[in-house]
Amino acid sequence: MSKKTKNTKEVDVVLIGAGIMSATLGTLINELSPDIKIEILERLDVVAAESSDAWNNAGTGHSALCELNYTPQQADGSVKIDKAISIAEQFEVSKQFWTYLVDKGVITKPEDFIRSVPHMSAVFGEKDIDFLRKRYDALSKNNLFKGMEYTEDKAVLNEWIPLMMKGRPADDKIAATKMILGTDVNFGALTRDLVQHLDAKDNITLHLTQEVRDIERNDNGTWELEVKDLKTGEKRTINAKFVFIGAGGHSLLLLEKSGIPESKGYGGFPVGGQWLRCVNEGVIKDHNAKVYGKASIGAPPMSVPHLDTRYIDGKQALLFGPYAGFSTKFLKQGSYFDLPASIKLSNIKPMLSVGRDNMDLTKYLISEVMKSPKDKLDALKQFMPTAKLEDWKIEVAGQRVQVIKKDAKHGGVLEFGTEVVSAADGSIAALLGASPGASTSVAIMIKLLKRCFPERAKADEYRKKLREMIPSHGQSLNDNVELCEATRKRTHTALKLENFKD
């Protein structure tokens, strides 16, 4: 039943959260249907301050070039690469959309958000070297991974990663792969560009310090949102035909408020994190790569260790980590009551089942929380033997909420990745989960549009516009050598990336 009043604002679309997901979806909707009225609601007083902020995420253009957790080793010793290929394809979609926005003038300085940084994987010891060699053999045969290099040669490694090789014992067993096509992405800067462009439109409004307190379905199938201004305390209602919940870790709580049957059984497991941030300019300049290692047993994918060249606000930076931690908050600026508030009768069984079946993760998180600065330095020293504590400071990373969902066999399973949950009629959708979300945001949102606006998605005009924005739409770059190379050449030129070779 609607509580609609005379003061209820009527809009077509409400986007909850002013992060990369809402910014991407809003931009796609506006390009495909410029007349649609959109309201963007953000509970903080700035855009992109949570997971999309540059200091709150890895900044890796996640394309599976270096992330070992996307290529798990099977019981027979083989390496499974289908997820890596899928993620690589999706990142190419993002680059095509960003290229379209550069060509259109929406983005004027791509170097403010994306830079060329080689992507590397580095492993230590015979067992992991054997895995990396098999991974290289499997991936390098594919178009999307063409040009990947592999070496165990210390002389080559000294050229690739001098900072990691300096002071390393001569008998250390180390191997690495390298892809020069890698990128560093400042998703905060990108989000701010997109939201600024949207906010300038007459039919789109951005509201900061606006918290959605309740979501209720009206009798006619639309949605009524109760919104509170956190500065003034004033409350208002908005009536929307479509609602997207892109509020990071807070999305689960808002999805539960909607009451849609599809939300039943979903839970969330929050994982916090910290970085070691280098403060020695000389050390920072000696490293130019994103080097990913293997995760510890029980570690979530977001905790895969990496020594990471970043470009933030035009300045080169160097991070190592992240070190995982546990908090009951679902957002960095959230509440310690977030986790308890998310527990419902419909999801308590899956959540208990996940707790029972993931003791390795629990032990890992406890050990991470207990680590002293010296312990954190010891972990860094595997990557950088000459590391000194005085050259690094602790930086608190963003908060992530991993998806828990019902499972017939186990009762509940912990999902690593992103998942869209939507109502049967497509009138409301929420994005849950974490990495590689931001990097694959364009592909995720195109899929969401097809699910939630099926009639529009079938229209010839819609499909023509989609192909204009994503020229390879509906085709596999991995299966087409010429298309893959032409697409990368075009996008890397437009985005001012200097790492593409014919």
**Helices within 64-168 (DSSP H only):** 82-104, 126-139, 154-160, 162-165
How far apart CA 288 and CA 499 sit, in angstroms, is 13
Cα radius of gyration (the chain): 23
pLDDT at 448: 95
pLDDT at 2: 44
How many H-runs (helices) and E-runs (strands) does the chain carry?
A: 16, 20
Instruction: Give how far Cα 362 sits from Cα of 68, 300, 324, 402, Å.
Output: 22, 10, 11, 13
What global pTM score does this model have?
0.91
* Low-confidence residues of the chain: pLDDT under 70: 1-7, 296-303, 359, 361-370, 499-502
Q: Please classify residue 333 by burial: count the beta carbons closer than 10 Å to its beta carbon, then call 0-12 exposed, 13-18 middle and 19+ buried.
A: exposed
Query: CB neighbours of 281 closer than 8 A, spacing ≥ 6?
Result: none
Q: At what angle do helices 441-452 and 82-104 cross, to 10 degrees?
A: 90
pLDDT at 369: 63
Q: Give per-residue pLDDT as tens, 57-70.
A: 888 999 999 999 89
CA torsion sign for 221, 226, 229, 230 is negative
Q: Give per-residue pLDDT as tens, 121-130.
A: 999 999 999 9
Query: CB neighbours of 468 closer than 8 A, spacing ≥ 6?
Result: 100
Structure tokens at 374: 């010296």
pLDDT at 359: 65
Please report the beta strands in 332-462, taking only residues with DSSP state E, as ranges in sequence order.
392-396, 400-407, 411-415, 418-422, 428-433
> Three-state SS for 15?
strand
Residue 422 in contact with residue 237, Cβ under 8 Å? no
pLDDT at 57: 85
pLDDT at 364: 64
**Helices within 263-384 (DSSP H only):** 281-285, 338-342, 348-357, 359-369, 373-383
Residue type, 11: V
Q: ∠ CA(253), CA(195), CA(51), 5° rounding? A: 45
Instruction: Give how far Cα 201 sits from Cα of 25, 27, 35, 45, Å.
Output: 15, 11, 10, 20
Omega before 34 within 30 of 0, i.e. cis: no
DSSP lists the bridge partners of residue 290 as 119, 308
Find the helix or strand (DSSP H, E) in which 228 lies.
Answer: strand 223-229
Percent of the chain's residues with pLDDT above 70: 93
Backbone angles phi, psi at 406, to 5 degrees: -60, 145
Per residue in 229-247, is it b (16+ CB within 10 Å) or e — as a string? eeeeeeeebbbbbbbbbbb
Scanning the structure block, which residue is given the tokens 């977030």? 338
Residue 18 in contact with residue 166, Cβ under 8 Å? no
pLDDT at 35: 92
Q: Give per-residue pLDDT as tens, 297-327.
A: 555 555 688 999 999 988 999 999 887 777 7
pLDDT at 299: 54
How far apart CA 203 and CA 98 sit, in angstroms, is 22
How far apart CA 128 and CA 174 sit, in angstroms, is 9
